[in-house]
Amino acid sequence: MVMKWKMNKRFIVVTVLVLFGLLSRYPFTLLDPVDPSGKAPDVLVRIAPKSSTAQIAAMLEQQGMIRDATAFRLYARFHGLDNKIKAGYYLLNASMSTEEILSILVQGQTATKSFTIPEGYTLKQITESLSAKGFIREPLFKDLLVNGQFDYAFIKDLPPGEKRLEGYLFPETYNIPFDSTEKHIINVMLAGMDRQIKELKLEEKAKALNLTLHQVVTIASMIEREARVDQDRPLISSVIHNRLKSGMRLQIDATVEYALGEHREKIYYKDLEVASPYNTYKYNGLPPGPIASPGRESLLAAVNPAHTKYFYYVAKPDGSHAFAETLAEHNANKNKYLR
């Protein structure tokens, strides 16, 4: 019955078109695809806010998406869709019928684009990546990182400045509307972090460790930059926690790299003297904040350190680490793996 009613409604629309003199020999032609081959390429079409159906129909006809603007308008009016078309960017093609195009526009199935933020990226790297894709205007994006207002509880107590959101733009793949603003892009990444905080119960677990959420994210960021294999994350976490409890300096190379503002294949002794609160060779305790965006596994490891007596680790050629409880054992590992 539903299918029969739909066909009858379409027939009525066509009858109206015939009466208007728009159709003659082939009454259904003006509602059919411009290119029925199914091989037409997608075309990005923008429906401006507050556009009338007449304006939309004229634009679609001009861009070759529909056969006739008047047929489009009459079909939309008869089906009560006149004021239901949503603004936005849409991927349409000439292989779509009038019915299909109107369905997409009314449902608001707007075009999307995607980007991926790798785990361990810094704000600088994230900004450069999005700018290279043409997704953001860099000056505006940077200003929002410092001054933007976002409605997440974890932001309220963050230290102000250009590094305010360092570590809090969660690394994963995002699909966003084609016309997303810089603020929306930051917001979806913050929403990603908010989801992790809630799902992993990070605030509760941080409190149980006598740490703040900010400290946990900072620890997770160091784990992210140091670990190369997942099984090492809880162990590296244990070294950080053990050193913090004992009052030892963390002496983490990744914090020196961050202080230097660039990636280094090798850290030299002169680099360890860089005057920065992020230099954990020079200053006690945790750095002022995260040094990168930690992924889920590093966040988990930060609040679930392995129970060990390790105070040292050294990278092995395969990317994993050798762990040690004493300096003597650590030196032996260095002699073994750092030749």
Mean pLDDT score of the chain: 90
Report which of 285, 288, 300, 299 is spatially closest to residue 259, judged by C-alpha positions: 288
Report which of 278, 200, 293, 283 is spatially closest to residue 243, judged by C-alpha positions: 283
Six-digit token pair at 70? 């008047």
Six-digit token pair at 74? 């009459």
Contact, 321 vs 236, CB < 8 A? yes
Residue 266, pLDDT score = 74
Residue 267, pLDDT score = 74
Report which of 159, 331, 327 is spatially closest to residue 246, judged by C-alpha positions: 327
Residue 10, pLDDT score = 54
Name the helix (H) or strand (E) containing 296. Answer: helix 296-303
pLDDT band at residue 28 under the 50/70/90 scheme: low
Residue 26, pLDDT score = 47
Could you please state the CATH topology (level 3) that the domain comprising 2-107 is classified under: Dna Ligase; domain 1 (3.30.1490)
| 141 pLDDT higher than 90 | yes
Listed as own residue / partner, the contacts of 32-36 with beta carbons closer than 8 Å and 24 or more positions apart are 32/67, 32/97, 32/98, 33/94, 33/95, 33/96, 33/97, 34/64, 34/65, 34/66, 34/67, 34/94, 35/93, 35/94, 35/95, 36/95
**Residue range(s) in the chain whose domain bears CATH number 3.30.1490.480:** 2-107
| 20 pLDDT higher than 60 | no
Report which of 2, 13, 21 is spatially closest to residue 76, judged by C-alpha positions: 13
Using one digit for the tens of pLDDT, what is the confidence trace for 259-289? 988 777 777 678 777 889 999 999 999 999 9
Using one digit for the tens of pLDDT, what is the confidence trace for 153-200? 999 889 999 999 999 999 999 999 988 999 999 999 999 999 999 999
**How many angstroms separate the CA atoms of 295 and 230, rounded?**
11
- 201: left (phi > 0), else alpha (psi -120 to 50), else beta? left
Using one digit for the tens of pLDDT, what is the confidence trace for 73-130? 999 998 899 889 999 999 999 999 999 999 999 999 989 999 999 999 999 999 999 9
